[in-house]
Structure 1
Amino acid sequence: MPQTPPIRDEYEVPLTPLPGLVLERHFTLPQRIWQQGWVRKGAILLLLALVWEAVARWQNNDLLLPTFLQTAQAFAEGIRSGELFGKTWLSLQVLLKAYVLGIVAAFVLTTLAVSTQFGRDLLGSLTSMFNPLPAIALLPIALLWFGLGEGSLIFVLVHSVLWALAVNTYAGFLGVSDTLRMAGRNYGLRGLGFVLQVLVPAALPSILAGLRIGWAFAWRTLIAAELVFGATSGKGGLGWYIFQNRNELYTDKVFAGLAMVILIGLLVENLVFNTLERATVKKWGMQR
Protein backbone atom coordinates (compact mmCIF):
# COMPACT_ATOMS: atom_id res chain seq x y z
CA MET A 1 0.00 0.00 0.00
CA PRO A 2 1.44 3.42 -0.92
CA GLN A 3 1.98 5.57 2.11
CA THR A 4 1.10 9.25 2.12
CA PRO A 5 3.08 11.68 4.24
CA PRO A 6 1.23 13.28 7.13
CA ILE A 7 -0.18 16.70 6.49
CA ARG A 8 0.78 19.26 9.09
CA ASP A 9 -1.81 21.83 10.02
CA GLU A 10 -0.96 25.39 9.21
CA TYR A 11 -0.65 27.83 12.05
CA GLU A 12 0.49 31.38 12.65
CA VAL A 13 2.70 32.70 15.41
CA PRO A 14 1.91 36.32 16.23
CA LEU A 15 5.04 38.39 16.73
CA THR A 16 5.07 41.08 19.33
CA PRO A 17 7.16 44.20 18.67
CA LEU A 18 10.33 44.51 20.70
CA PRO A 19 10.07 47.33 23.21
CA GLY A 20 12.46 50.24 22.78
CA LEU A 21 13.79 49.06 19.38
CA VAL A 22 14.62 51.97 17.06
CA LEU A 23 15.16 51.00 13.42
CA GLU A 24 15.83 54.45 12.06
CA ARG A 25 19.33 55.82 12.08
CA HIS A 26 19.52 59.45 13.04
CA PHE A 27 22.38 61.49 11.62
CA THR A 28 23.63 64.65 13.18
CA LEU A 29 23.77 67.79 11.07
CA PRO A 30 27.54 67.48 10.36
CA GLN A 31 27.02 63.84 9.31
CA ARG A 32 24.18 64.78 6.96
CA ILE A 33 26.32 67.49 5.40
CA TRP A 34 29.26 65.09 4.98
CA GLN A 35 27.00 62.64 3.15
CA GLN A 36 26.82 65.10 0.24
CA GLY A 37 29.31 64.19 -2.47
CA TRP A 38 30.05 67.77 -3.45
CA VAL A 39 31.00 68.56 0.15
CA ARG A 40 33.54 65.74 0.30
CA LYS A 41 35.02 66.67 -3.08
CA GLY A 42 35.14 70.32 -2.07
CA ALA A 43 37.01 69.36 1.09
CA ILE A 44 39.58 67.47 -0.99
CA LEU A 45 40.08 70.48 -3.27
CA LEU A 46 40.42 72.77 -0.25
CA LEU A 47 43.03 70.47 1.26
CA LEU A 48 45.00 70.46 -2.01
CA ALA A 49 44.84 74.26 -2.15
CA LEU A 50 46.16 74.54 1.41
CA VAL A 51 49.02 72.16 0.64
CA TRP A 52 49.82 74.14 -2.51
CA GLU A 53 49.84 77.43 -0.58
CA ALA A 54 52.07 75.99 2.14
CA VAL A 55 54.58 74.49 -0.31
CA ALA A 56 54.72 77.68 -2.38
CA ARG A 57 55.33 79.84 0.70
CA TRP A 58 58.03 77.45 1.86
CA GLN A 59 59.62 77.50 -1.63
CA ASN A 60 59.45 81.32 -1.64
CA ASN A 61 60.09 81.64 -5.38
CA ASP A 62 57.20 83.06 -7.43
CA LEU A 63 58.98 82.30 -10.69
CA LEU A 64 59.07 78.56 -9.99
CA LEU A 65 55.87 78.12 -8.01
CA PRO A 66 53.39 80.91 -7.34
CA THR A 67 51.10 80.58 -4.37
CA PHE A 68 47.52 79.47 -4.68
CA LEU A 69 46.32 83.00 -3.89
CA GLN A 70 48.53 84.50 -6.62
CA THR A 71 47.23 81.94 -9.10
CA ALA A 72 43.64 82.63 -8.07
CA GLN A 73 44.24 86.36 -8.54
CA ALA A 74 45.71 85.78 -12.02
CA PHE A 75 42.78 83.50 -12.86
CA ALA A 76 40.25 86.10 -11.75
CA GLU A 77 42.06 88.81 -13.70
CA GLY A 78 42.08 86.63 -16.82
CA ILE A 79 38.34 86.04 -16.51
CA ARG A 80 37.68 89.73 -15.79
CA SER A 81 39.63 90.88 -18.84
CA GLY A 82 38.02 88.21 -21.00
CA GLU A 83 41.36 86.91 -22.26
CA LEU A 84 41.30 83.58 -20.46
CA PHE A 85 37.65 82.94 -21.27
CA GLY A 86 38.21 83.84 -24.93
CA LYS A 87 41.19 81.49 -25.27
CA THR A 88 39.23 78.69 -23.62
CA TRP A 89 36.26 79.20 -25.91
CA LEU A 90 38.51 79.03 -29.00
CA SER A 91 39.90 75.70 -27.82
CA LEU A 92 36.48 74.29 -26.94
CA GLN A 93 35.06 75.18 -30.36
CA VAL A 94 37.73 73.12 -32.09
CA LEU A 95 37.38 70.30 -29.56
CA LEU A 96 33.60 70.03 -29.94
CA LYS A 97 33.82 69.83 -33.73
CA ALA A 98 36.42 67.07 -33.59
CA TYR A 99 34.56 65.25 -30.80
CA VAL A 100 31.35 65.07 -32.81
CA LEU A 101 33.21 63.87 -35.91
CA GLY A 102 35.00 61.23 -33.84
CA ILE A 103 31.70 59.97 -32.38
CA VAL A 104 30.13 59.70 -35.84
CA ALA A 105 33.15 57.87 -37.26
CA ALA A 106 33.27 55.46 -34.30
CA PHE A 107 29.54 54.74 -34.62
CA VAL A 108 29.89 53.99 -38.34
CA LEU A 109 32.83 51.63 -37.77
CA THR A 110 31.21 49.74 -34.89
CA THR A 111 27.87 49.46 -36.71
CA LEU A 112 29.70 47.98 -39.68
CA ALA A 113 31.63 45.66 -37.36
CA VAL A 114 28.52 44.15 -35.74
CA SER A 115 26.79 43.80 -39.10
CA THR A 116 29.41 42.21 -41.38
CA GLN A 117 32.53 40.08 -41.14
CA PHE A 118 34.39 42.60 -43.27
CA GLY A 119 33.50 45.31 -40.75
CA ARG A 120 34.86 43.22 -37.88
CA ASP A 121 38.11 42.61 -39.73
CA LEU A 122 38.35 46.28 -40.67
CA LEU A 123 37.77 47.53 -37.11
CA GLY A 124 40.15 44.99 -35.63
CA SER A 125 42.91 45.86 -38.08
CA LEU A 126 42.53 49.63 -37.78
CA THR A 127 42.40 49.64 -33.98
CA SER A 128 45.48 47.39 -33.78
CA MET A 129 47.35 49.78 -36.07
CA PHE A 130 46.24 53.20 -34.90
CA ASN A 131 45.04 52.88 -31.29
CA PRO A 132 48.61 52.58 -29.87
CA LEU A 133 49.72 55.55 -32.00
CA PRO A 134 49.82 58.82 -29.99
CA ALA A 135 47.68 61.49 -31.62
CA ILE A 136 50.33 64.15 -31.14
CA ALA A 137 52.70 62.03 -33.28
CA LEU A 138 50.41 62.68 -36.25
CA LEU A 139 50.71 66.44 -35.86
CA PRO A 140 53.66 66.87 -38.28
CA ILE A 141 51.74 65.00 -40.99
CA ALA A 142 48.60 66.99 -40.23
CA LEU A 143 50.55 70.23 -40.62
CA LEU A 144 51.78 69.08 -44.04
CA TRP A 145 48.31 68.10 -45.18
CA PHE A 146 46.17 70.84 -43.66
CA GLY A 147 48.62 73.62 -42.78
CA LEU A 148 48.65 75.83 -39.69
CA GLY A 149 44.92 75.92 -39.19
CA GLU A 150 41.95 74.35 -37.54
CA GLY A 151 42.00 71.35 -39.88
CA SER A 152 45.27 70.05 -38.42
CA LEU A 153 43.89 70.15 -34.89
CA ILE A 154 40.64 68.48 -35.89
CA PHE A 155 42.56 65.71 -37.63
CA VAL A 156 44.62 64.77 -34.57
CA LEU A 157 41.65 65.20 -32.21
CA VAL A 158 39.45 62.86 -34.24
CA HIS A 159 42.23 60.31 -33.97
CA SER A 160 42.21 60.76 -30.18
CA VAL A 161 38.46 60.21 -29.88
CA LEU A 162 37.83 57.61 -32.57
CA TRP A 163 39.75 54.55 -31.44
CA ALA A 164 39.05 54.76 -27.71
CA LEU A 165 35.33 55.13 -28.36
CA ALA A 166 35.25 52.45 -31.07
CA VAL A 167 37.02 49.87 -28.91
CA ASN A 168 34.75 50.47 -25.90
CA THR A 169 31.59 50.55 -27.99
CA TYR A 170 32.42 47.35 -29.83
CA ALA A 171 33.31 45.62 -26.55
CA GLY A 172 29.94 46.72 -25.19
CA PHE A 173 28.16 45.37 -28.27
CA LEU A 174 29.87 42.01 -27.86
CA GLY A 175 28.70 41.87 -24.23
CA VAL A 176 25.01 42.15 -25.12
CA SER A 177 23.29 38.91 -24.17
CA ASP A 178 21.88 36.51 -26.77
CA THR A 179 18.47 36.84 -25.14
CA LEU A 180 18.28 40.56 -25.98
CA ARG A 181 19.58 39.90 -29.47
CA MET A 182 16.96 37.24 -30.15
CA ALA A 183 14.23 39.44 -28.69
CA GLY A 184 15.20 42.25 -31.05
CA ARG A 185 15.26 39.93 -34.06
CA ASN A 186 11.86 38.49 -33.09
CA TYR A 187 10.50 42.04 -33.34
CA GLY A 188 11.89 42.22 -36.85
CA LEU A 189 14.78 44.56 -36.10
CA ARG A 190 17.66 44.43 -38.54
CA GLY A 191 20.67 46.56 -39.42
CA LEU A 192 20.69 50.11 -38.09
CA GLY A 193 17.38 49.70 -36.23
CA PHE A 194 18.77 46.67 -34.39
CA VAL A 195 21.88 48.62 -33.41
CA LEU A 196 20.00 51.72 -32.21
CA GLN A 197 17.15 50.00 -30.37
CA VAL A 198 18.90 46.94 -28.91
CA LEU A 199 22.68 47.15 -28.92
CA VAL A 200 23.16 50.82 -28.01
CA PRO A 201 20.89 50.81 -24.90
CA ALA A 202 22.33 47.50 -23.70
CA ALA A 203 25.95 48.60 -24.25
CA LEU A 204 25.45 52.13 -22.92
CA PRO A 205 27.77 51.74 -19.88
CA SER A 206 30.65 50.80 -22.18
CA ILE A 207 29.74 53.58 -24.61
CA LEU A 208 29.75 56.17 -21.83
CA ALA A 209 33.15 54.90 -20.67
CA GLY A 210 34.42 55.31 -24.23
CA LEU A 211 33.02 58.84 -24.43
CA ARG A 212 34.77 59.72 -21.18
CA ILE A 213 38.10 58.32 -22.35
CA GLY A 214 37.77 59.95 -25.76
CA TRP A 215 37.00 63.33 -24.19
CA ALA A 216 40.02 63.11 -21.88
CA PHE A 217 42.33 62.07 -24.74
CA ALA A 218 41.05 64.83 -27.01
CA TRP A 219 41.24 67.56 -24.34
CA ARG A 220 44.85 66.88 -23.41
CA THR A 221 45.85 66.34 -27.05
CA LEU A 222 44.38 69.73 -27.94
CA ILE A 223 46.33 71.51 -25.21
CA ALA A 224 49.53 69.70 -26.22
CA ALA A 225 49.02 70.53 -29.91
CA GLU A 226 48.43 74.19 -29.15
CA LEU A 227 51.58 74.20 -27.06
CA VAL A 228 53.50 72.88 -30.08
CA PHE A 229 52.39 75.25 -32.81
CA GLY A 230 50.14 77.64 -30.94
CA ALA A 231 47.78 79.69 -33.05
CA THR A 232 45.09 78.27 -35.32
CA SER A 233 43.93 80.50 -38.15
CA GLY A 234 45.69 83.44 -36.51
CA LYS A 235 44.04 82.84 -33.12
CA GLY A 236 45.59 81.13 -30.12
CA GLY A 237 43.72 78.82 -27.78
CA LEU A 238 44.23 77.87 -24.17
CA GLY A 239 47.42 75.93 -24.86
CA TRP A 240 48.88 78.95 -26.63
CA TYR A 241 47.89 81.12 -23.67
CA ILE A 242 49.93 78.84 -21.37
CA PHE A 243 52.92 78.74 -23.74
CA GLN A 244 52.95 82.48 -24.36
CA ASN A 245 52.87 83.35 -20.65
CA ARG A 246 55.62 80.82 -19.97
CA ASN A 247 57.82 82.62 -22.50
CA GLU A 248 57.08 85.93 -20.80
CA LEU A 249 57.75 84.39 -17.34
CA TYR A 250 54.24 85.06 -16.04
CA THR A 251 54.18 81.85 -14.03
CA ASP A 252 51.01 82.77 -12.18
CA LYS A 253 49.18 83.08 -15.52
CA VAL A 254 50.64 79.74 -16.62
CA PHE A 255 49.15 78.12 -13.52
CA ALA A 256 45.90 80.00 -14.13
CA GLY A 257 45.74 78.43 -17.60
CA LEU A 258 46.43 75.00 -16.15
CA ALA A 259 43.73 75.61 -13.56
CA MET A 260 41.29 76.37 -16.37
CA VAL A 261 42.20 73.07 -18.06
CA ILE A 262 41.46 71.25 -14.80
CA LEU A 263 38.26 73.23 -14.20
CA ILE A 264 36.90 72.39 -17.66
CA GLY A 265 37.65 68.71 -17.00
CA LEU A 266 35.80 68.81 -13.67
CA LEU A 267 32.79 70.60 -15.16
CA VAL A 268 32.47 68.21 -18.09
CA GLU A 269 32.85 65.18 -15.82
CA ASN A 270 30.30 66.29 -13.22
CA LEU A 271 27.79 68.27 -15.29
CA VAL A 272 27.79 66.21 -18.48
CA PHE A 273 28.89 62.62 -17.97
CA ASN A 274 27.65 62.15 -14.41
CA THR A 275 24.29 63.71 -15.30
CA LEU A 276 24.02 61.48 -18.36
CA GLU A 277 24.79 58.43 -16.25
CA ARG A 278 22.18 59.31 -13.64
CA ALA A 279 19.56 59.86 -16.33
CA THR A 280 20.28 56.58 -18.13
CA VAL A 281 22.28 53.62 -16.83
CA LYS A 282 21.89 54.37 -13.10
CA LYS A 283 18.19 55.11 -13.49
CA TRP A 284 17.74 51.86 -15.43
CA GLY A 285 19.61 49.83 -12.80
CA MET A 286 22.50 48.96 -15.13
CA GLN A 287 25.11 50.61 -12.94
CA ARG A 288 25.51 51.39 -9.26
Structure 2
Amino acid sequence: MTTLDTPIRPEYELAHEPFTAVPLSRPLPFHRRLWQQGWVRKAVILLALAVLWEILARIQDNDLLLPTFLATARAFAEGIANGELPGKAAVSLSVLVQGYAAGIALAFMLTTLAVSTRLGRDLLDTLTAMFNPLPAIALLPLALLWFGLGSKSLIFVLIHSVLWPLALNTYAGFRGVPETLRMAGRNYGLRGLRYVVLILLPAALPAVLSGLKIGWAFAWRTLIAAELVFGASSGKGGLGWYIFQNRNELYTDRVFAGLATVILIGLAVEGLVFTTLERVTVRRWGMQH
Protein backbone atom coordinates (compact mmCIF):
# COMPACT_ATOMS: atom_id res chain seq x y z
CA MET A 1 0.00 0.00 0.00
CA THR A 2 1.44 3.32 -1.02
CA THR A 3 1.29 6.47 0.99
CA LEU A 4 -1.44 7.85 -1.25
CA ASP A 5 -3.64 4.82 -0.55
CA THR A 6 -3.52 5.43 3.25
CA PRO A 7 -6.98 6.46 4.44
CA ILE A 8 -7.21 10.03 5.68
CA ARG A 9 -8.92 10.55 9.03
CA PRO A 10 -11.94 12.76 8.57
CA GLU A 11 -11.92 16.10 10.39
CA TYR A 12 -14.42 16.67 13.11
CA GLU A 13 -15.38 19.42 15.56
CA LEU A 14 -16.31 19.13 19.20
CA ALA A 15 -19.49 20.92 20.05
CA HIS A 16 -18.84 23.07 23.11
CA GLU A 17 -21.53 23.46 25.68
CA PRO A 18 -22.86 26.98 26.06
CA PHE A 19 -21.35 28.97 28.94
CA THR A 20 -24.68 29.27 30.70
CA ALA A 21 -24.94 25.50 30.84
CA VAL A 22 -21.84 25.23 33.03
CA PRO A 23 -22.85 25.30 36.71
CA LEU A 24 -21.50 28.39 38.45
CA SER A 25 -20.04 28.27 41.93
CA ARG A 26 -22.40 29.49 44.59
CA PRO A 27 -21.44 32.76 46.30
CA LEU A 28 -20.23 32.58 49.87
CA PRO A 29 -22.87 33.04 52.53
CA PHE A 30 -23.16 36.50 54.03
CA HIS A 31 -21.72 35.52 57.40
CA ARG A 32 -18.61 34.03 55.78
CA ARG A 33 -18.08 37.11 53.62
CA LEU A 34 -18.51 39.27 56.71
CA TRP A 35 -15.99 37.19 58.66
CA GLN A 36 -13.39 37.83 55.97
CA GLN A 37 -13.36 41.50 56.99
CA GLY A 38 -10.47 42.22 59.35
CA TRP A 39 -12.33 44.81 61.39
CA VAL A 40 -15.10 42.29 62.14
CA ARG A 41 -12.66 39.73 63.53
CA LYS A 42 -10.94 42.39 65.65
CA ALA A 43 -14.31 43.59 66.95
CA VAL A 44 -15.18 40.03 67.97
CA ILE A 45 -11.88 39.74 69.84
CA LEU A 46 -12.54 43.00 71.70
CA LEU A 47 -16.07 41.88 72.54
CA ALA A 48 -14.78 38.57 73.89
CA LEU A 49 -12.25 40.41 76.08
CA ALA A 50 -15.00 42.71 77.39
CA VAL A 51 -17.20 39.72 78.29
CA LEU A 52 -14.26 38.01 80.02
CA TRP A 53 -13.52 41.22 81.93
CA GLU A 54 -17.15 41.49 83.09
CA ILE A 55 -17.19 37.87 84.27
CA LEU A 56 -13.92 38.18 86.19
CA ALA A 57 -15.00 41.44 87.82
CA ARG A 58 -18.29 39.93 88.97
CA ILE A 59 -16.45 36.93 90.39
CA GLN A 60 -14.01 39.24 92.18
CA ASP A 61 -16.93 41.37 93.46
CA ASN A 62 -14.72 44.26 94.56
CA ASP A 63 -15.10 47.50 92.60
CA LEU A 64 -12.09 49.00 94.34
CA LEU A 65 -9.78 46.35 92.91
CA LEU A 66 -11.47 45.53 89.61
CA PRO A 67 -14.56 47.43 88.46
CA THR A 68 -16.83 45.75 85.96
CA PHE A 69 -16.69 46.54 82.28
CA LEU A 70 -20.10 48.22 82.49
CA ALA A 71 -18.97 50.45 85.37
CA THR A 72 -15.85 51.40 83.42
CA ALA A 73 -17.97 52.11 80.35
CA ARG A 74 -20.20 54.43 82.41
CA ALA A 75 -17.14 56.24 83.80
CA PHE A 76 -15.75 56.53 80.27
CA ALA A 77 -19.03 57.92 78.94
CA GLU A 78 -19.21 60.44 81.80
CA GLY A 79 -15.63 61.54 81.13
CA ILE A 80 -16.42 62.05 77.46
CA ALA A 81 -19.66 63.88 78.20
CA ASN A 82 -18.13 66.37 80.65
CA GLY A 83 -15.14 66.92 78.36
CA GLU A 84 -12.53 65.82 80.89
CA LEU A 85 -11.16 62.85 78.97
CA PRO A 86 -11.02 64.65 75.59
CA GLY A 87 -9.24 67.56 77.24
CA LYS A 88 -6.66 65.33 78.90
CA ALA A 89 -6.14 63.40 75.67
CA ALA A 90 -5.61 66.66 73.75
CA VAL A 91 -2.94 67.76 76.23
CA SER A 92 -1.12 64.43 75.93
CA LEU A 93 -1.33 64.30 72.15
CA SER A 94 -0.07 67.87 71.72
CA VAL A 95 3.05 67.04 73.73
CA LEU A 96 3.42 63.71 71.94
CA VAL A 97 3.35 65.28 68.48
CA GLN A 98 6.12 67.73 69.42
CA GLY A 99 8.41 65.07 70.87
CA TYR A 100 7.65 62.58 68.08
CA ALA A 101 8.35 65.09 65.33
CA ALA A 102 11.61 66.19 66.95
CA GLY A 103 12.69 62.56 67.35
CA ILE A 104 11.94 61.82 63.68
CA ALA A 105 13.96 64.87 62.54
CA LEU A 106 16.98 63.94 64.66
CA ALA A 107 16.82 60.29 63.57
CA PHE A 108 16.74 61.32 59.92
CA MET A 109 19.74 63.61 60.42
CA LEU A 110 21.74 60.86 62.15
CA THR A 111 20.97 58.20 59.55
CA THR A 112 21.70 60.60 56.68
CA LEU A 113 25.07 61.35 58.23
CA ALA A 114 25.68 57.63 58.82
CA VAL A 115 25.15 56.63 55.18
CA SER A 116 27.13 59.61 53.90
CA THR A 117 30.36 59.38 55.90
CA ARG A 118 32.32 56.76 57.80
CA LEU A 119 32.53 59.05 60.82
CA GLY A 120 28.75 59.40 60.82
CA ARG A 121 28.36 55.61 60.78
CA ASP A 122 30.69 55.27 63.74
CA LEU A 123 28.83 58.06 65.54
CA LEU A 124 25.45 56.36 65.04
CA ASP A 125 26.78 52.96 66.13
CA THR A 126 28.34 54.45 69.27
CA LEU A 127 25.34 56.57 70.29
CA THR A 128 22.78 53.80 69.73
CA ALA A 129 24.91 51.33 71.68
CA MET A 130 25.10 53.81 74.55
CA PHE A 131 21.59 55.23 74.72
CA ASN A 132 19.23 52.71 73.13
CA PRO A 133 19.34 50.33 76.15
CA LEU A 134 18.76 53.29 78.50
CA PRO A 135 15.07 53.51 79.55
CA ALA A 136 13.53 56.91 78.94
CA ILE A 137 12.06 56.87 82.46
CA ALA A 138 15.61 56.84 83.84
CA LEU A 139 16.07 60.32 82.37
CA LEU A 140 13.17 61.81 84.32
CA PRO A 141 15.34 63.17 87.18
CA LEU A 142 17.68 64.87 84.69
CA ALA A 143 14.75 66.22 82.71
CA LEU A 144 13.33 67.79 85.87
CA LEU A 145 16.71 69.26 86.75
CA TRP A 146 17.41 70.70 83.30
CA PHE A 147 13.97 71.77 82.06
CA GLY A 148 11.80 72.00 85.16
CA LEU A 149 8.24 70.82 85.61
CA GLY A 150 6.28 70.97 82.38
CA SER A 151 6.09 70.02 78.73
CA LYS A 152 9.77 70.60 77.94
CA SER A 153 10.77 67.74 80.23
CA LEU A 154 8.20 65.49 78.61
CA ILE A 155 9.42 66.38 75.13
CA PHE A 156 12.98 65.57 76.18
CA VAL A 157 12.15 62.03 77.27
CA LEU A 158 9.93 61.54 74.21
CA ILE A 159 12.79 62.42 71.88
CA HIS A 160 14.95 59.84 73.62
CA SER A 161 12.28 57.15 73.30
CA VAL A 162 11.72 57.82 69.57
CA LEU A 163 15.20 58.66 68.32
CA TRP A 164 17.16 55.44 68.81
CA PRO A 165 14.71 52.74 67.62
CA LEU A 166 13.77 54.82 64.59
CA ALA A 167 17.40 55.52 63.73
CA LEU A 168 18.32 51.83 64.02
CA ASN A 169 15.42 50.68 61.84
CA THR A 170 16.01 53.37 59.24
CA TYR A 171 19.73 52.68 59.04
CA ALA A 172 19.10 48.93 58.74
CA GLY A 173 16.67 49.66 55.91
CA PHE A 174 19.21 51.88 54.17
CA ARG A 175 21.87 49.17 54.39
CA GLY A 176 19.44 46.67 52.85
CA VAL A 177 18.88 48.71 49.68
CA PRO A 178 20.07 46.69 46.63
CA GLU A 179 23.39 47.69 45.13
CA THR A 180 21.79 48.18 41.70
CA LEU A 181 19.65 51.02 43.06
CA ARG A 182 22.67 52.55 44.76
CA MET A 183 24.63 52.42 41.50
CA ALA A 184 21.72 53.95 39.61
CA GLY A 185 21.63 56.86 42.03
CA ARG A 186 25.37 57.41 41.80
CA ASN A 187 25.23 57.25 38.00
CA TYR A 188 22.70 60.08 38.05
CA GLY A 189 25.10 62.10 40.14
CA LEU A 190 23.06 61.99 43.35
CA ARG A 191 25.01 62.68 46.51
CA GLY A 192 24.30 63.47 50.13
CA LEU A 193 20.75 64.45 51.04
CA ARG A 194 19.37 64.05 47.49
CA TYR A 195 20.78 60.53 47.32
CA VAL A 196 19.12 59.62 50.62
CA VAL A 197 15.73 61.18 49.79
CA LEU A 198 15.45 60.00 46.18
CA ILE A 199 17.08 56.55 46.37
CA LEU A 200 17.52 55.17 49.87
CA LEU A 201 14.35 56.42 51.55
CA PRO A 202 11.83 55.06 48.98
CA ALA A 203 13.65 51.71 48.78
CA ALA A 204 13.85 51.36 52.58
CA LEU A 205 10.31 52.60 53.24
CA PRO A 206 9.05 49.34 54.84
CA ALA A 207 11.83 49.47 57.44
CA VAL A 208 11.24 53.19 57.98
CA LEU A 209 7.53 52.65 58.57
CA SER A 210 8.32 49.84 60.98
CA GLY A 211 10.63 52.18 62.87
CA LEU A 212 7.94 54.86 62.96
CA LYS A 213 5.46 52.40 64.45
CA ILE A 214 7.95 51.24 67.08
CA GLY A 215 8.87 54.83 67.88
CA TRP A 216 5.21 55.77 68.24
CA ALA A 217 4.55 52.90 70.65
CA PHE A 218 7.62 53.77 72.72
CA ALA A 219 6.72 57.46 72.78
CA TRP A 220 3.08 56.88 73.76
CA ARG A 221 3.83 54.62 76.70
CA THR A 222 6.77 56.79 77.80
CA LEU A 223 4.53 59.85 77.79
CA ILE A 224 1.85 58.21 79.94
CA ALA A 225 4.49 56.95 82.39
CA ALA A 226 6.14 60.37 82.56
CA GLU A 227 2.82 62.13 83.15
CA LEU A 228 2.18 59.81 86.07
CA VAL A 229 5.23 61.37 87.71
CA PHE A 230 5.31 65.02 86.70
CA GLY A 231 2.71 65.51 83.99
CA ALA A 232 0.85 68.43 85.59
CA SER A 233 1.97 71.95 84.78
CA SER A 234 0.03 75.06 85.74
CA GLY A 235 -2.97 72.96 86.68
CA LYS A 236 -2.95 71.08 83.37
CA GLY A 237 -2.13 67.43 82.89
CA GLY A 238 -2.62 64.67 80.37
CA LEU A 239 -4.07 61.19 80.54
CA GLY A 240 -1.29 59.92 82.79
CA TRP A 241 -2.02 62.62 85.33
CA TYR A 242 -5.75 61.87 85.08
CA ILE A 243 -5.04 58.21 85.91
CA PHE A 244 -2.75 59.16 88.79
CA GLN A 245 -5.24 61.59 90.33
CA ASN A 246 -8.15 59.16 90.23
CA ARG A 247 -5.98 56.42 91.63
CA ASN A 248 -5.20 58.65 94.65
CA GLU A 249 -8.91 59.36 95.09
CA LEU A 250 -9.73 55.63 94.74
CA TYR A 251 -11.94 56.11 91.68
CA THR A 252 -10.85 52.85 90.14
CA ASP A 253 -13.50 52.94 87.42
CA ARG A 254 -12.11 56.29 86.24
CA VAL A 255 -8.60 54.83 86.33
CA PHE A 256 -9.73 52.06 84.00
CA ALA A 257 -11.56 54.63 81.86
CA GLY A 258 -8.29 56.53 81.48
CA LEU A 259 -6.45 53.34 80.59
CA ALA A 260 -9.16 52.51 78.05
CA THR A 261 -8.69 55.94 76.49
CA VAL A 262 -4.96 55.29 76.15
CA ILE A 263 -5.67 51.94 74.48
CA LEU A 264 -8.31 53.37 72.14
CA ILE A 265 -6.02 56.15 70.99
CA GLY A 266 -3.31 53.58 70.33
CA LEU A 267 -5.71 51.45 68.29
CA ALA A 268 -6.93 54.48 66.35
CA VAL A 269 -3.42 55.61 65.44
CA GLU A 270 -2.41 52.08 64.45
CA GLY A 271 -5.56 51.42 62.41
CA LEU A 272 -6.15 54.83 60.83
CA VAL A 273 -2.68 56.30 60.41
CA PHE A 274 -0.11 53.55 59.99
CA THR A 275 -2.33 50.99 58.28
CA THR A 276 -3.55 53.61 55.81
CA LEU A 277 0.00 54.80 55.22
CA GLU A 278 1.18 51.25 54.51
CA ARG A 279 -1.76 50.58 52.20
CA VAL A 280 -1.18 53.65 50.02
CA THR A 281 2.59 53.19 49.86
CA VAL A 282 4.46 49.93 50.39
CA ARG A 283 1.52 47.58 49.81
CA ARG A 284 0.36 49.47 46.76
CA TRP A 285 3.88 49.42 45.35
CA GLY A 286 4.29 45.67 46.00
CA MET A 287 7.03 46.14 48.61
CA GLN A 288 5.01 44.45 51.36
CA HIS A 289 2.29 41.81 51.51
Name the TM-score, length of structure 2 as normaliser. 0.92
> Which residue is 1:6 aligned to?
none
Q: Deviations over 1:20-40 (max 9, x none)?
A: 765756210100111111100
**Mapped pair 1:224 → 2:211:** no
Which residue pairs with 1:77 in the alignment?
A: 78
Matches within 5 A, 1:124-163: 124-163=125-164
Deviation of 1:260 (Å): 0.2
1:210 aligned residue: 211
User: Identity, % of aligned pairs?
Assistant: 72
User: Following superposition of structure 1 onto structure 2, how do residues 274-285 of structure 1 map, counting pairs within 5 Å?
Assistant: 274-285=275-286
Q: Specify the alignment match of 2:56 in structure 1.
A: 55
Deviations 1:165-206 (A, max 9, x none): 000000000000000111111222111111001100000000
Give the residue type in structure 2 aligned to 1:128: A
- In the comparison of the two structures, how many residue pairs are matched? 276
Helix, strand or coil at the partner of 2:273: helix
Query: Which aligned pairs between 1:40-189 and structure 2 lie closer than 5 A?
Result: 40-189=41-190
- Give the structure with higher Rg (CA): 2
| In 2: Cα distance, 1:15 partner to 1:250 partner | 80
Distance, in Å, in 2 between the alignment partners of 1:15 and 1:165 is: 65
Deviation at 1:232, TM superposition (A): 2.9
Q: Distance in 1 between matches of 2:199 and 2:231?
A: 44
User: CA distance change for structure 1 residues 195 and 60 in 2, over 3 Å: closer, same or farther?
Assistant: same
Alpha-carbon distance between aligned partners in 2 of 1:196 and 1:22, rounded to the nearest angstrom: 54
Q: Secondary structure at the match of 1:283?
A: coil
Long gaps (5+) in structure 2: 1-12
Whole-angstrom distance in 1 between the partners of 2:207 and 2:193: 19
Contact 1:150/1:233 (CA < 8 Å) preserved in 2? no
Query: SS at 1:27's partner residue?
Result: coil
| Partner of residue 8, structure 1 | none
Letter of the structure 2 residue corresponding to residue 38 of structure 1: W
Per the alignment, residue 270 of structure 1 pairs with: 271
* CA separation of 1:102 and 1:24: change in aligned 2, threshold 3 A: farther
**TM-score, length-normalised on structure 1?**
0.92
Structure 1: unaligned runs, 5 residues or longer: 1-12
**Cα deviation digits, residues 27-84 of structure 1 (max 9, x gap):** 1010011111110000000000000011111111111111101000000000000011
Following superposition, which runs of at least 4 residues in structure 1 exceed 4 angstroms of deviation? Answer: 13-25
SS in 2 for 1:155: helix
Q: CA deviation at 1:230?
A: 3.1
Report the alpha carbon displacement of residue 234 of structure 1 after superposing the two structures with TM.
Answer: 3.4
Which residue pairs with 1:248 in the alignment?
A: 249
SS of 1:98's equivalent in the other structure is helix
CA contact (8 A) 2:136 2:161 kept: yes
Shift of the alpha carbon at 1:241?
0.2
Structure 2 equivalent of residue 193 of structure 1: 194
18 and 127 in structure 1: CA distance in 2 versus 1, 3 angstrom threshold: farther
- Name the CA distance, whole Å, in 2 between partners of 1:166 and 1:252: 39
What is the CA RMSD across the aligned residues, in angstroms? Answer: 1.8
Distance in 1, matches of 2:197 and 2:153, equals: 32
Deviations 1:118-150 (A, max 9, x none): 100000000000000000100100100000011
Is residue 148–residue 233 contact of structure 1 (8 Å, CA) maintained in 2? no
